Amino acid sequence: MAMPPVEPEVLSLIAPASFSPLRLFLSLVILLIFLLIAFFSPRSSSRTPLKKHTASRTVLLVGPLASGKTSLFSKLVYGHAPPTHTSMEENEGLVKAKWGTGEPPTAVALSRPLHLVDLPGHPRLRTRALAQFLPAADGLVFAIDGVTGLSGKNVRDAGEHLHVLLSLLSFLSSRRSAPLPPLLILLTKSDQLTSSTSTPTKPKSASLTLDRAKQSLARELERRRAASAAGGTSAGAKLEGLDAIQTGGSGSSSSAFKSLLAALGLLGSSASTTTTLITPGAAGLPSDEVEVLANEDAFAFEGAFEWGKVEQTLGLEINWAVASSKDVSEAGLDKVWEWVDEL
């Protein structure tokens, strides 16, 4: 008598109980939490520098607030200087032609492109930006308002910013064997430097202006050097009184969700619920201004402050020039382009 065929028994891999409403609800909640974590996860607030363009020269525009950096950037990149406002983030551009005079202005192609980066001058942003971009720089332009930037609070701000830059260059020199990028200290707004006997475009007027700038900045840096040697209050302490820079709400939202997950036991105990807006530079440069200003190697020389001693101590080439970013200026940016051509 023939045996009836055996029907294979198919067993479900998922138990019927697993489809209970409670389990389904918990699964959806967990999935939603992970989606929210992915959406609100903190992103680095510091921008990644543009990859260095092949055969291009990277020049950083640095300096205190209202020093004319952004106008200078616009004139070099676009050929004109529209009204600007204080920059709170980096401006980057690739310059392939040099703008000349005339209406409309003519453009002459450059043999090598110029990668130009305008860094923010705000005290809470400058050190992070410098630490991030300085290692890739082929040249540095330190801009100072030639009209109002050489006296009072303005020269103190300029001296502090230059102190930060020189200290970071000292750190950079100790971390690599390549020479430091040359520095051009540029007095902007030269079209406003007028007198009864000369114009800012004449060599005599430019020479007097540069001499005054060298003396004013030297006195300020010597004052800061003496205060540091005497163990005075840290030059970076005043940052505590400045308003914080608002960077958006994603960081706070992320912290709230991390706190919620930690309370539910879904986040490890070693995870931090705080985020930092400061990241170290590519060459390991410090981005904490107090730490940067505590470095005295930039002024490690005997006797009174002299620019030649700074150059020798750091192995740094320092140049000086006056310029204007105004289209109507005869002096214009000739000295800047002469310096760029030598990079």
- Give the contacts of 103 (CB within 8 A, at least 6 positions apart): none
- pLDDT at residue 42 is higher than 80: no
6 confidence band (pLDDT: 50, 70, 90): low
* Model pLDDT, residue 191: 62
Domains located in the chain, CATH noted: 58-66+123-229+284-342 (3.40.50.300)
Q: For residue 86, what are the CA distances in angstroms to 63, 67, 142, 275?
A: 12, 10, 16, 26
For residues 280-292, give the mean pLDDT.
75
* Model pLDDT, residue 274: 32
* Model pLDDT, residue 312: 94
Q: What are 133-192's pLDDT values in tens digits?
A: 999 999 999 999 888 878 899 999 999 999 999 999 999 999 888 999 999 999 987 666
Cβ atoms 68, 145 nearer than 8 A: yes
Q: Which of 117-121, 204-208, 277-281 has the highest mean pLDDT?
A: 117-121
Give the lowest-confidence range in 82-86, 189-193, 263-267, 338-342.
263-267
At position 147, the amino acid (one-letter code) is V
Q: How far apart, in whole angstroms, are the C-alpha atoms of residue 69 and residue 39? A: 36
Q: How far apart, in whole angstroms, are the C-alpha atoms of residue 44 and residue 124? A: 17
Say what percent of the chain tops pLDDT 90. 29
* Model pLDDT, residue 118: 94
- Mark residue 121 as left, alpha or beta (left: phi above 0; alpha: psi -120 to 50; beta: remaining): alpha
Output 144 or 50, whichever has higher pLDDT.
Answer: 144
- pLDDT at residue 85 is higher than 90: no
* Model pLDDT, residue 280: 39
Give the lowest-confidence range in 42-51, 176-185, 244-253, 287-296.
244-253
- Give the contacts of 81 (CB within 8 A, at least 6 positions apart): 71, 72, 74, 75, 325, 326, 327
Q: For residue 148, what are the CA distances in angstroms to 64, 102, 145, 187, 201?
A: 12, 29, 6, 10, 18
Sign for the pseudo-dihedral over CA of 22, 23, 28, 30: positive
320 confidence band (pLDDT: 50, 70, 90): very high
* Model pLDDT, residue 168: 95
Complete edge-to-edge strand list for the sheet that includes strand 57-62:
91-99, 107-118, 57-62, 139-145, 183-188, 318-322
* Model pLDDT, residue 218: 95
Give the lowest-confidence range in 39-48, 51-60, 102-111, 285-294.
39-48
* Model pLDDT, residue 321: 92
- pLDDT at residue 35 is higher than 70: yes
Element (H, E) at 92: strand 91-99
Cβ atoms 116, 73 nearer than 8 A: yes
- Mark residue 55 as left, alpha or beta (left: phi above 0; alpha: psi -120 to 50; beta: remaining): left
For residues 225-241, give the mean pLDDT.
61
CB atoms within 10 A of CB 210: 16
Sign for the pseudo-dihedral over CA of 119, 120, 123, 129: negative
